[in-house]
Amino acid sequence: MHSGGDWYRHQVKTSANYCTGSTLVFYFSGGLSHQIEHHLFPNVNHCHLPHIQPIVQRVCRKHGVDYREFSSIGEALRSYYRHITSLR
């Protein structure tokens, strides 16, 4: 993947969020359901990631960066499986 030398764009394009509306998934995953924000700000405590998310979404929209988010773990896993099988 070519990110054009833009580290931030690369982080967003190569990660995705899942179940961001679920408090249970958020705490069970240690905040890793917010993968995009975690990849952009790895040293920020996970409790802040949901608060950062709307800002990151706005910036992505402004700059035309695709912000991928899945509503369920199943949806995320199906997308992952499709991606892996497409690499054959």
Per-residue model confidence as pLDDT tens digits over 15-63: 999 999 999 999 999 999 999 999 999 999 999 999 999 999 999 999 9
The model carries a pTM of 0.85
Q: Rounded distance, CA 20 to CA 75, Å? A: 13
Alpha helices in the chain (DSSP H): 7-13, 23-28, 35-40, 49-63, 73-86
Higher pLDDT, 48 or 2: 48
How many CA atoms lie within 13 Å of 8's alpha carbon, on the beta-carbon side? 9
User: Would you state the pLDDT for residue 4?
Assistant: 66
Residue 32 contacts residue 25 (beta carbons within 8 Å): no
Q: Rounded distance, CA 2 to CA 41, Å? A: 21
Higher pLDDT, 3 or 58: 58
Q: Which residues contact 63 (CB under 8 A, 6 or more apart)?
A: 9
Q: Is 30 left (phi over 0), alpha (psi -120 to 50) or beta?
A: left
User: Would you state the pLDDT for residue 42?
Assistant: 94
